[in-house]
Structure 1
């Protein structure tokens, strides 16, 4: 994605089912669990680089000894720093007891994070606050183990104020401004209401049913309770991803399937996807159940996971990204009038590479059909046959990401000129009269395209630049884990507003704004997404054409066109992940409508901030 956006978070959960001595004997180290937690987090580091945290629970701890520990670090390299701190603790202990590694029981007693239940989290600060207080896990401590809770997750809730009001809670500013703060307060409230006279009989399923029934959002959350029970739960629409694996040694859950496959060397078919609205509940004795906590709604798994966020090493995601690119081939051929001879195809940024391969395969399919047709239509000379067989789609590595450019210059014009050099271009690849087709994952704001990429590509001297997005037009804010919350940021919205003004239809803006204000006054802001009316008068092609006009700098010589994936093409490529609200405005929960309407109201009132 050429436009940088904050997104997602990553979850890593491990429950060791054997005593620590077992792993020491079999794998040669009592640190098996911590080593695996480190790998599971590192294999998902793409999901969060603003901070990280871990928590562990020790089972069967003598009364009076601490059973739950937590560490959080904000900023870059947080995962490494956390585990370096643990390593330092081990090294300090070895100075007193050089052979301590040979005694797993002593290690558990001396080292804070030598527990049997482990939770890790990777954070992107979707609210723009990256200080350590906002890093997961959060903790609700108590001297009573059954009322001690730590939680982490990958989510956004859109009704946090309502949750705090229901609880009549007055938390600290940090807790109130965090979605996890609202979530852990609600779960802890019902945890404290539960009968804890028998810690082994604590009804986690009932607690989750009561607590999560109040949540509005997309989430995967995990909690560790001091008595040894733990859980991982997914929202009813399956918006956020979650996978788990179980054998006789471990139970594992994570945000991404390949992370589990690589860390534990298990095949794809042994890993299960957590059903929407369900949870895995692991009791202190290691037994696992997978109950349905909330009734599953319409399956709306986030399609951006498939387009961009999740690693492409997942077999299904790789295939889907290939199909996203392949589905764009007919549109590209139509726009270049099937003139592949004078067309070069490339990609920016590197994360668009898989979709690029799919686009090339689609263009090659067309080219092969042409070859077959001509071979059958007439007799060819050897030279003509050779030329025909050797005809290929022209592929070039046009742009290479250079070092991250920083500038001390404060003037916008000078800064923008510096930004153009984030990428190095490959000179000599484009001939006079060539069309340059470049595929991107998605186009959100278009800022990088306008200020950097299009100007950079123009220096190569193409007649025409066509930017292709493997995602449809992003028209609406997200409120379930991706930091796309300000309506005015979206280039598609800017284009629709420009079209309304071009056609003398500015009244649509005011009418929509008034509908939102009336709905807010009546407490019905979440009943309907009124912002759809802004796009209703225009076809996707009209919006794309206006976007191209807005993104083409005046000093660029080449003509510029934009091609977007269709929503139907997205469904075809990603049939099981149809979370499309940022493209269509069809939100899976009522809170989404409120967010879209509020974001539009903020735009009209020129207010900063999110719509939730």
Structure 2
């Protein structure tokens, strides 16, 4: 305010500030803020990598507004979806309920993160007019088509999802293959997501605490385990062994996403590139590493198709963790080396040691 030489700001001042942010900052961001005594604001990166949505609710006291990253946050509180905030766009809502919007980026484009649809978003969310649930149904269908082409489906006795995010894809896959579907793995909801846990030892321990098997669904059967993706492979290896311990005859493994081979630099704390199980291995080597009898991945073109069917107007997605192509076009080897030095298990363990000493 001192710089603006005024007592109170207005929507134009906020839009000007967001415009300057877009010029200075490169990457993925969806930002929401509150200005005491004035109102709330939100804005989205010019590539639309991260989601942001606006909703409203009419009450006796007037119309209320809410900004969130996923539509389920709105609907759970009784808000109706108004629309997605566009890439580079900012919205300002003052305390009296006036809504102002403005495009604050020079060359905005839609390149949403496809991993939101694979894993992060809840299935009942709608992002950029794309149903996450229907996207995952299509992932199951396309993966079933690939399995039918490359495997003998008669070898599969039962399809079992690795809870929770693979359930929708696995159910549709089983339906398409006409194979029994079963909830043979039960999840402990009090264990955090294992793929971002620091330390291989902790991840292995957490998998056994996180999941337990129903032996009746495994014993003597050829089981097809379906997961949303494979990152480090630690979880996959442990679950394959759990299936064998439960008496499975053969253990097949299917991933609803392609191999994760590259680091994500847009807000997902995945491990360093060298710690991805697919980093320097082909599918056969990965299969051997996780101890499965067979392994199959979704093709990237099929994954893009599965999501794009929800909104034909979006022609590009951030698939960098699968193909190494970064939509901001400013990621070089030096930056990736820096990420490597910060995200590797050894770096995290060193930081933990320094903090505790």
* Residues 67-126 of structure 1, C-alpha deviations (whole Å, 9 max, x = no match): xxxxxxxxxxxxxxxxxxxxxxxxxxxxxxxxxxxxxxxxxxxxxxxxxxxxxxxxxxxx
Q: Which residue of 1 aligns with 2:318?
A: 579
Q: Which residue of 2 aligns with 1:483?
A: 269
Query: Does the 8 Å CA contact 1:477/1:487 hold for their aligned counterparts?
Result: yes
Q: Which residue of 2 aligns with 1:322?
A: 137
Evaluate the alpha carbon distance shift between residue 272 and residue 228 of structure 1 in structure 2; reply closer, same or farther with a 3 A threshold.
same
Report whether the alignment pairs 1:570 with 2:311. no
Q: Which runs of 5+ in 1 are unaligned?
A: 1-146, 148-191, 365-392, 406-411, 496-542, 553-558
Displacement, 1:422?
4.2
Query: Does the 8 Å CA contact 1:243/1:257 hold for their aligned counterparts?
Result: yes
Q: Which residue of 1 aligns with 2:347?
A: 608
Query: Does the 8 Å CA contact 1:477/1:595 hold for their aligned counterparts?
Result: no
Q: How many residues end up aligned between the 2 structures?
A: 326
Displacement, 1:264?
2.0
Displacement, 1:413?
9.1
CA distance in 2, matches of 1:228, 1:549: 59
Query: Does the 8 Å CA contact 2:273/2:340 hold for their aligned counterparts?
Result: no
Query: Does the 8 Å CA contact 2:55/2:79 hold for their aligned counterparts?
Result: no
Q: Which residue of 2 aligns with 1:544?
A: 283
Report whether the alignment pairs 1:230 with 2:21. no
Evaluate the alpha carbon distance shift between residue 224 and residue 595 of structure 1 in structure 2; reply closer, same or farther with a 3 A threshold.
farther
If the length of structure 2 is used for normalisation, what is the TM-score? 0.80
Query: Does the 8 Å CA contact 2:28/2:49 hold for their aligned counterparts?
Result: yes
Q: How does 1:198-597 map to 2 (within 5 A)?
A: 199-200=9-10, 203-246=13-56, 248-266=62-80, 270-314=81-125, 316-339=131-154, 342-364=156-178, 393-402=179-188, 420=208, 422-430=210-218, 432=220, 434-450=221-237, 452-495=238-281, 543-552=282-291, 560-575=293-308, 576=314, 578-594=317-333, 597=336
CA distance in 2, matches of 1:297, 1:198: 30
Q: How does 1:127-146 map to 2 (within 5 A)?
A: none
Evaluate the alpha carbon distance shift between residue 562 and residue 302 of structure 1 in structure 2; reply closer, same or farther with a 3 A threshold.
same
Alignment RMSD (CA, Å):
3.1
Would you tell me which structure has more helix in proportion to its own residues?
A: 1
Displacement, 1:285?
4.5
CA distance in 2, matches of 1:415, 1:215: 34
Q: Equivalent residue of 1:223, what SS?
A: strand
Evaluate the alpha carbon distance shift between residue 265 and residue 547 of structure 1 in structure 2; reply closer, same or farther with a 3 A threshold.
same
* Residues 518-576 of structure 1, C-alpha deviations (whole Å, 9 max, x = no match): xxxxxxxxxxxxxxxxxxxxxxxxx2111112222xxxxxx522211111111111114
CA distance in 2, matches of 1:283, 1:414: 47
If the length of structure 1 is used for normalisation, what is the TM-score? 0.49
Displacement, 1:276?
0.3
Displacement, 1:602?
4.2
* Residues 258-289 of structure 1, C-alpha deviations (whole Å, 9 max, x = no match): 221231253xxx42000000010224553221
Displacement, 1:439?
0.4
Q: Equivalent residue of 1:455, what SS?
A: helix
CA distance in 2, matches of 1:209, 1:602: 32
